[in-house]
Each structure stands twice: as C-alpha cells, then as structure tokens.
Amino acid sequence: MRTTGEVVDATKNKRGRAEALELARSADRVVAARGKKVLVFDMKNDPPDDDTLAAHILGPTGNLKAPTLRVGSTLLVGFGFDAYRQVFGES
C-alpha cells in the first residue's frame, strides 16, 4: 500500500518553469505522459537539457502539468494509462 505525502492543489499553487525544472532535476527518473505518448528521462545518467525537459513537463500556461506525482525517486507528470502502469505496475 502506498501512502500520500504532500497534496497540492495545482489550481491554487502553480509551479512555473524554474520550480518545475528544479523538481524534475531532484528525481532520478521523470516519466512524462500525454495520452498514449510516454517519455522517460533518466535524470542521473542521461539528463535532457532544460528546454527539452520543460517542453514535456510544462503545460500550455507555462506551469507544471497536472497531475504530477512523486513515487519514490520517480516524478510522474501528466496522465496516461501506459505511464501509470509503468510506474505502478499492472494491479
């Protein structure tokens, strides 16, 4: 069973580019999802440049996409069934 740590309402607490990149850089892996498209970034061994990372974790408003979850050392950004299966498994 997984427990919830911090819960933040994205409509009230927006995270812009700098804060979103800092959050992503603190993870070992970033899984960015948009529908069926899933990209995985290895932040320790092959981190992307800021513009590439921002293109996948920021929404059209320039803020961090919702939902965003931190699961251990993985940051899951956006929503896609395949991404959730990859992070949480097939339960």
Note whether residue 35 is domain-resident: yes
- pTM, 2 dp: 0.85
Note whether residue 6 is domain-resident: no
Note whether residue 42 is domain-resident: yes
Q: Is the pLDDT of residue 3 over 60?
A: no
Question: How high is the pLDDT of residue 87?
Answer: 86
Q: Residue-wise over 55-74: b if at least 16 C-beta within 10 A, else e?
A: ebbbeeeebbbbebbeeeeb
CA 86 to chain CA centroid, nearest Å: 13
Burial class, 30, CB count within 10 angstroms (exposed 0-12 / middle 13-18 / buried 19+): buried
Instruction: Indicate the number of domains in the chain.
Output: 1
List the domain range (segments joined by +) for residue 55.
17-88
Q: What is the mean pLDDT of residues 43-72?
A: 95
pLDDT-above-70 percentage for the chain: 86
Taking only the tens place, the pLDDT of each residue in 34-51 is 888 999 999 999 999 999
